Amino acid sequence: MTSVRQLQVTFDCADPERVARFWCEVLGYVVPPPPKGFADWAEFDSALPPEYRGSRFACVDPAGVGPRLFFQRVPEGKAVKNRLHLDVRVGTGLVGEERLAALEAECARLVPLGAVRVRLLSADGVNESCLVMQDVEGNEFCLD
């Protein structure tokens, strides 16, 4: 049986670079170096056929621990709730008011970057509170 060695999370979106750069800010990820022979990603992109320019972008965890995030342009817009979403774990180990304060602080950092606050899911005796958000293209994620 083969074991998984790496995981990549792929986002369908309208503007791959914009969404990738948003997630770089959220997660502390970086844009990887461009392919060999290109000074930067803009130079690489301009070498592509016109129909492929701006069609993909990626970001990586600089520590090499988290999954690579890949963003690809698709023609259709987001129409329904995501079936998969990211949980940004900012409140791990925290409970009650301390957890809410951590969630709210991260929300306050992300909104100026283009995130949208959707709703707070309050602790219910089984689950701790989390904050539902949307990225710059309306993809849901949670501050957990």
pLDDT of residue 53: 92
- The two structure tokens encoding residue 98: 């301390």
| 142 phi/psi in degrees, rounded to 5 | -120, 140
Q: Find the DSSP H helices in the chain.
A: 16-27, 41-46, 96-110
> What is the C-alpha separation between 68 and 58, in angstroms, rounded?
7
- What are the pLDDT digits (tens) for 64-116? 999 999 999 998 887 887 778 899 999 999 999 999 999 999 999 999 999 99
Mode of pairing for the β-strands spanning 86-88 and 56-59 = unpaired
Mode of pairing for the β-strands spanning 8-13 and 56-59 = unpaired
> Domain residues of the chain, as ranges?
8-73, 86-143
pLDDT of residue 4: 67
Mode of pairing for the β-strands spanning 68-73 and 8-13 = parallel
pLDDT of residue 7: 85
How many other β-carbons are positioned within 10 Å of the β-carbon of residue 82?
Answer: 13
Whether 19 and 136 have beta carbons less than 8 Å apart is answered as: yes
Lowest pLDDT segment from 1-5, 26-30, 80-84, 120-124: 1-5
